[in-house]
Amino acid sequence: MPTDKFTSRKKSLIALAAAALVGAAGAGAITSHALLQDRAQTVANASATGPNGTAAPLNPTPSTAAATTPATVTLPDFSRITDQRGPGVVNISVTGTTKTSGNGSPFQGMDPDDPVFQFFKRFGGIPQQQGPSETPMRGQGSGFIVSSDGVILTNAHVVKDAKDVTVKLTDRREFKAKVIGTDPKTDVAVIKIDAKDLPYLPLGNTRDLKVGEWVLAIGSPFGFENTVTAGVVSAKGRSLPDDSYVPFIQTDVAVNPGNSGGPLFNARGEVVGINAQIYSRTGGYQGVSFAIPIEVATKVRDQILKTGKASHARLGVVIQEVNQAFADSFKLDKPEGALVSSVEKGGPADKAGLKAGDVIRKVDGQPIVASGDLPALIGQASPGSQITMEVWREGRQQTLNARLGDASDKAAQVAKADDGAEQGKLGLALRPLQPDEKREAGVDGGLLIQDTGGPAATAGLQAGDVLVAVNGTPVKSVEQVRELIGKSSKSVALLIQRDGQKIFVPVRLG
C-alpha cells in the first residue's frame, strides 16, 4: 500500500544487509537487494546515562539556553553519544546457504584455462545443474545490545537463511549467537550471545521525536565497523511499497548496506529506531533512509522472548489509496482514507459490517490519511482486540466496531490500482450477466463489460470485466448505471471484478 510516489518502486527499496554469494569458482561481494516484502525537536545537547539507565541531560537544553542567549544555537555533541553508546553496538556476520534456480553449469564463471574445467570439457562435457540448489552465502549487518545478558536486536533480513551467526563487540571479542526468533512482517529479529555484564543501550520513544530533530546512526556499512553518521528526521509514519506493518521513520542519515539492524539515536543518546532500508537507484545511499520505530521493535522483542514468535492483528479487507478522483466520486472533502475494494467473507471486517466502497477514515480516533496507515496500525494491534472505525459510506459518516483476527491465519491483501484516468466520456458497453455467468463470477448482480473506449479504456478496463458497483452502489441494470453516472460530476469509482479479484478504478468524466 504505497503512500508515496516512488519513481522506481520495488527495485529502489534496498534492505541494508551487506551480503556475498560464494559460487563454485570463488567468492565475490555483492550488495544484497533483498526487497521487503513496501520518521526532530529543537536541537538538544548530548546526554549521559542516568541512575536508572535512562538518559539524563548533560547540559541545559537549547530551549533553556535560548532564554539567555537567543542568538546562540548549540549542536548536539555527537562525540559524547558515540563514546557512551558505541560499546552497545555490535557487528553481525552470518554464513549460510541460499537457494538458486540451478539452471546451467556449476562451472559457470570459471576460468576456461582451469584444469578442472578443461577435464570436463574434453572427457565428459560440462555437466548441467538441474533443479534448485543451495549456494553458500556470507553477509554482514549491525545490531545493538538491549540487556546486559546478551539480548540483541537486529533486522530479520540480516539473519535470514543464516546457519552461523557471529557477533563482534567493540572490544573485538567475538561470540556465536543464537537466533531466538524473527518477524519478517516487521523485519525485526532477536538474537542472543552467552555473555554477562554487557553494555546495553537506553531506549527512547518516537512519540516525542519531531521532524527536523537531529539523529545519529552507528553501524557497519560495507563492513566498516563502528561507523558514525548523523542527520535529521525527514518524516514520520512512512508506509513503503510491499510493507504493511511498519510506520517507518524517514531520515537523511547516511546509511548503506551493512548498516541494517543498527540503532538510530536521538540527540539524548536514546535508541529511537532500527535502520532497515534505503531508497536508492544505485544500490547506495542517496539521501533517503528508513528506520523501524523502537516501539514496534520492542513489542516484537517481548513477544519473541515470551513465545518464540510475534503475532499481528488482521482486519480482513483489500484496500486502495484514495486519490482525488475517488474523493470526487465518493463526495469526500479531501483525498484521505483507505478505500475498501473487497471484504473477506466471514472475516473480522465482514462481521463488523464493513462493505466494499466504504472509506475507513479513523481507527480508534487515529486518522487514516494514506491507505498504508491502516495496515501499519492494525498490524501493531493484538489479535482479538476490538477497534472502533469511522467509515464514510454513501456520503455519510458511520461508526463500526470490529474484533480483529490473527494475521497468521490469512495475510491481508493490498489492491494495486492504475490511477491514470483521463478526461472524457465513460466509454463502456454493458449487458446483464446470465445466471451461469453470475455463478461463475460468484456475484449476485453486476454487468458484463462487452467493450471499452475513451476514459474507461485508458483507466484499464477491459472487455470481460464485471462491473459490480458504481461509487459503492451495487448495480444490476444499465439504466441504473446511467442514473448513477448522471449524478456524478467529475469522476466515478467503478468496482470491477477480474479473475476473481475486485478493485476500484477511478474514471474521469467529461
Q: Which residues are known catalytic residues? A: 157, 187, 260
Virtual torsion, Cα 56, 62, 67, 68, nearest 10 deg: 90
In terms of DSSP H, where are the helices of 330-368?
348-352
Would you tell me how many other CB atoms lie within 10 Å of the CB of residue 293?
A: 26
Give the span between the Cα atoms of 25 and 385, in whole angstroms: 54
Would you tell me how many other CB atoms lie within 10 Å of the CB of residue 382?
A: 12
260 annotated among ligand-binding-site residues: yes
Phi, psi for 158 (deg, rounded to 5)? -70, -40
C-alpha cell recorded at residue 63: 530551549
Query: Exposure string (b/e) for 498-510, b if CB count within 10 Å is 16 or more?
Result: beeebbbbbbbbe
88, exposed or middle or buried, with CB in 10 Å at 0-12, 13-18, 19+? Answer: buried
33 annotated among ligand-binding-site residues: no
Closest CA to 189 of 144, 224, 234: 144
259 annotated among ligand-binding-site residues: yes
Sign of CA dihedral 373, 294, 279, 20: negative
93 annotated among ligand-binding-site residues: no
Residues 6+ apart with CB under 8 A from 158: 17, 92, 94, 139, 141, 142, 143, 189, 260, 261
258 annotated among ligand-binding-site residues: yes
C-alpha cell recorded at residue 281: 537507484
- Name the DSSP letter for residue 300: H
Would you tell me how many other CB atoms lie within 10 Å of the CB of residue 410?
A: 12
Give the span between the Cα atoms of 139 and 493, in whole angstroms: 47
**Diameter of the chain by CA atoms?**
87
Closest CA to 292 of 258, 250, 230: 250
Angle of CA points 432, 435, 342, to nearest 5°:
75
Q: How many residues does the chain have?
A: 510
In the annotated binding site for substrate, the residues are: 157, 187, 258-260
Residues in the annotated binding site: 157, 187, 258-260
